[in-house]
Each structure stands twice: as structure tokens, then as C-alpha cells.
Structure 1
Amino acid sequence: MTNKSKTLYTGVTNDRIRRVYEHKNKLIPGFTQKYNITLLVYYEETPDISAAIAREKQIKGWLRQKKIDLIESVNPNWQDLSLKWYD
């Protein structure tokens, strides 16, 4: 997830739609609330929580440019992928 300034946040959840809603509505205190992280620009899905946590740690360990390259490989314009979820 990101904000208008392209500050990056990586997280893991068992309910993507609920968690993005919480970030968008600033329901959970912390980094995403403080930095107004409300735009979903990239996500991956897996049925295995261990794999999801390992992938989260891997991505968090990357340099910023590698994260940007990953986002832009599927979402070059940084569109909010969750825009139509809550209509």
C-alpha cells in the first residue's frame, strides 16, 4: 500500500478486503494511519500463511527501488486496486 507521496507499506492479512478497508478508514493506529497509507497498488494471494509471512519478510528486506519495480511490473500507473471494492 502507499499514499500520494508514494510512501510504501507491506503487510500480511487473512482478509485483504477488510484490512484495506481498515487502512483506508484509519481504524488501526500506527504507520498506515500516521502516513495516510490508503492506496492499494500491489498484492499477492496465497492459501499458505507461512508462505505469505515469508514473502512479506522478503519484500520488506528489499531496497525501495526493487519494491517500486515490483509494483510497476503489474501496476505502472500506481492505480488504487481497491477502488471498486466498496461501492
Structure 2
Amino acid sequence: MKKFVYVVTDRNRTSLHVGMSSDLIKTLDFYKQMPCLLFDSGQQLTRLVYFEELKTEAQALSRFKLISRFTRTQKERLVRSCNPDWIDLTIGLDFEHITTNKKMVNQVNLSFSILS
């Protein structure tokens, strides 16, 4: 099962939060729907700026622990190494998720029509 280590930030890049998840889209939806109990709307961690996909939970946990210990400067360098403009990567993940689901639905429909 795939595991992800990710970095999310707010719109002003004030906070950088490192996390680990097996379902990145679901986790990001949680961040977006999380009530503003702890943060004002400007500080909500809704922008995915970095993620890695790892094959095992042990690899992910090891990487998560390492990145969590990074200083803010090191985290910023990590993000800039693959996302220099700090673009919200959620858009690409949503698109990939939607197209993958459409392909699966089309394959099921095709299989069903062949069986009918």
C-alpha cells in the first residue's frame, strides 16, 4: 500500500506542516473542511506544496521523521527543489483522481455492455 509524506502550508506560507497519509486526497479534504478553531482563515493549512510517494509504511515513517526535524529553511529548500513557485499541487492530484475514476467507470461500463 502506498504512503505519502507531504508538506502543507497556508496562503501566506506562515506555517509549514509535515504529515504522513495513505490517502492524500482524503487528508487534504480534511484540512480544507477543518473548522477554523485553531487558525484564522489566512492560516488554514490548505495548500499542498510538496509530497513524496513511498512504497512501505516503514519508509514513509522514516522519511516523515527526518523531514519533521528539518528547520524551516531546510523545509523551504525541499519545497523549492521541486516546486519553486509554491504552486498548490492539490489541483493536479484532483485532476489525476478524477481522470483515474472516469477511466475505471468507463472500463466497468464497457465490461458491463460486453457481458449484456
**TM-score tier (shorter):** 0.7 to 0.9
Q: Deviations over 1:41-69 (max 9, x none)?
A: 00000120111011111001011101100
Structure 2 Cα separation of the partners of residues 47 and 24 of structure 1: 26
Which of residues 11, 15, 22 in structure 2 aligns to 1:4? 11
Between Structure 1 and Structure 2, which shows a larger proportion of strand residues?
2
Q: Is 1:25 equivalent to 2:13 in the alignment?
A: no
Matches within 5 A, 1:54-69: 54-69=62-77
Structure 2: 5+ residue stretches without partners: 1-7, 99-116
Structure ID, larger Rg: 2
TM-score under structure 1 normalisation? 0.85
Equivalent residue, structure 2, for 1:74: 82
Cα offset, 1:5, TM superposition: 2.2
Runs of 4+ residues deviating >4 angstroms? none
Task: Name stretches of at least 5 consecutive residues in structure 1 with no aligned partner.
Answer: none
In the other structure, the counterpart of 2:109 is none
Please report the RMSD computed on the Cα atoms of aligned residues, expressed in angstroms: 2.1
Whether 1:45 aligns to 2:53 is yes
Identity across aligned pairs (percent)? 30
Q: Between Structure 1 and Structure 2, which shows a larger proportion of helix residues?
A: 2
Superposition TM-score, scaled by structure 2 size: 0.65
